[in-house]
Structure 1
């Protein structure tokens, strides 16, 4: 396999196509204020013309039959522009959950998800945000409350990872049988929801012992791609600004102290890109994915937070205005860092053969 599956000739062409479309059509502020929380027309174009939602879904389920690497290329570009889209939650998270379930449910649900016409959401975590099933199953019914459900308020398909007597399982619940409410999150570009289950009828989709840990690792890798793209763009915008902003008769980017700060961020972003590549390869080759995903979670979260912090600092006063996008990158950095569990909970898996704690 190519050392970096995200930079093959095919991946480069995909990256160029997505970037061109997003640069021309993405309007973050109007999208995040829309009823869906994303631009439905742009999402349809991405799915119909480029097939982004179908990339990591096999052809027999209506997908393109590519891999997680190609999906991560798209996620990196979406992260770069902070474009709100159901790529992470519906296409990747729910798509991979159904594939891991390995039952007929994939034939029934994946074609709509791959086409981008079906919005799916996955409920796992409770109020603490840790990747642990917040709901329990008894007699084919679910009880509990799940939080931080991506696009959960309006999803047409609701999947739930719940605890059963024999371990975690993947269930499908009719949205009509669930109390759903949009949550007020830190990041206005990402819609989150809570879902309350009270003896909700549930249909089990897996054959027993659903691999929730692997799904978490795949989710973390996909999120890391978003983080790398956003961190790189935050640095790019900051460098561009320091070349234009003048003080004491010269661009502020010419001052050595600021050059050192931007160089430090550049090193962090490139390190994040490297660990993302290693995590994608681990996912494709099924080679110690837990450690690689945990490393990506820790490194990419730190790189994005640092890039966003320096973006605020080096842009000066304009960075704290609502009109400038710096605060959107800052909020996305801190919101995504704790999504699927805080980076600190992944540290044991980075330094040893210990699974992330939640």
Structure 2
């Protein structure tokens, strides 16, 4: 029987959190994120450079011998909590987690080193909505080149290399310059999606597509829960602070019993999400009961993040409905995350199968 996992944050994890939060406080303020979404260039490359090259966060999951930090999914989860708190417009989840996990499955040492060092940004060319274990589209291989169109690829506009599954069962590394990237209308402007068109694009075979994609999507789904946790926790704290400051009828709005009950319920939901997200990160790090832990975290995390954003919007009153207030960024990220790497329903269905409790 395996030992019970310790889901509390270690001193090293808390130190990492403090460092990432300090950097984001200085370089990722809400007004700046809103302005960037309006500029047509949503990705903050200066912030990404500071995170990836300056702090080494892009290489957390990469072994030291491959040029990374040799950390675990627990540390990556802490980084994602803080990035979720700031709705940071950087391709961390897509490059430092999902693409990196695909490369780890394939053993592509040179590409791993480049992503870990922040010299290149990668993305797995599978739609953001795809759940672990679900079927995914593949492009055609004709005369040694790749042909086809893939849609819903997150952060495609920011990448240098795409990891593309093909119909011969192989995962190919394709330079972004060799494809056409057509931006799509995205709900979440801080993590835009795009279509990728390959027309006789050259690619380098790096490994088995099926195994790499499944591993990558499972890690993405599991660590997405930590991003959702950071988002929900930040919204809860900001909403409590707002209600403590705002007054009606010469009383603090936060003192009204009905609002206290709503906040208490939300606090309990966030606490539950913290346990589920930490368990998923620990399971990814140890390899124990990983599929179950990821399914539980995503079946629960999506609804908590969306509920936190909806409560924040309502409880901020009229100011919450304005474009200048950042709550809309969080609501859009929460809504987009609720279908990323599989819906809550898809994860509940997967969990039922894993627990041998199929639907009637």
Q: What TM-score does the superposition give when structure 1 sets the normalisation length?
A: 0.90
Matched, 1:316 2:320: no
Deviation track 1:268-302 (CA, whole Å, cap 9, x = no partner) reads 11111101111112111212212211111111111
Deviation track 1:39-73 (CA, whole Å, cap 9, x = no partner) reads 22222222233211111111111101111111111
Which residue does 1:169 correspond to in 2? 170
Distance 1:36 1:117, change over 3 A: farther
**Cα drift, residue 19 of structure 1:** 0.7
Find the aligned partners of 2:249 and 2:92 in 1 and give their Cα distance: 46
**Cα drift, residue 221 of structure 1:** 1.3
* C-alpha RMSD of the superposition: 2.2
Find the aligned partners of 1:219 and 1:69 in 2 and give their Cα distance: 13
Matched, 1:158 2:162: yes
Provide runs of 4+ in structure 1 moved above 4 Å.
33-36, 128-131
Which residue does 2:192 correspond to in 1? 191
Find the aligned partners of 2:203 and 2:180 in 1 and give their Cα distance: 14
Given candidates 20, 23, 33, the residue that maps to 2:22 is: 20
The answer on whether the counterparts of 1:312 and 1:326 sit within 8 Å (CA) in structure 2 is: yes
**Cα drift, residue 340 of structure 1:** 1.9
**Cα drift, residue 20 of structure 1:** 1.2
Which residue does 1:98 correspond to in 2? 103
Find the aligned partners of 1:335 and 1:4 in 2 and give their Cα distance: 31
Matched, 1:292 2:297: no
Aligned residue runs from structure 1 range 253-332, under 5 A: 253-332=254-333
Which residue does 2:122 correspond to in 1? 120
Find the aligned partners of 2:109 and 2:8 in 1 and give their Cα distance: 28
**Cα drift, residue 10 of structure 1:** 0.5
Q: What TM-score does the superposition give when structure 2 sets the normalisation length?
A: 0.90
SS of the counterpart of 1:210? helix
Matched, 1:66 2:71: yes
Distance 1:290 1:163, change over 3 A: farther
The answer on whether the counterparts of 2:152 and 2:193 sit within 8 Å (CA) in structure 1 is: yes
Deviation track 1:318-354 (CA, whole Å, cap 9, x = no partner) reads 1111011111111111011111222211112222328
Q: Unaligned regions of 5+ residues in structure 1, if any?
A: none
**Cα drift, residue 148 of structure 1:** 2.2
Deviation track 1:205-256 (CA, whole Å, cap 9, x = no partner) reads 1157524322211010121111100010011111111111111220111011
Find the aligned partners of 1:110 and 1:153 in 2 and give their Cα distance: 20
Find the aligned partners of 1:86 and 1:208 in 2 and give their Cα distance: 22
Q: Unaligned regions of 5+ residues in structure 2, if any?
A: none
Find the aligned partners of 1:259 and 1:207 in 2 and give their Cα distance: 52
Find the aligned partners of 1:250 and 1:172 in 2 and give their Cα distance: 61
Q: What is the number of residues matched between the two proteins?
A: 348
Query: Higher RCO, 1 or 2 (CA under 8 Å, sep at least 6)?
Result: 2
Find the aligned partners of 1:116 and 1:265 in 2 and give their Cα distance: 37
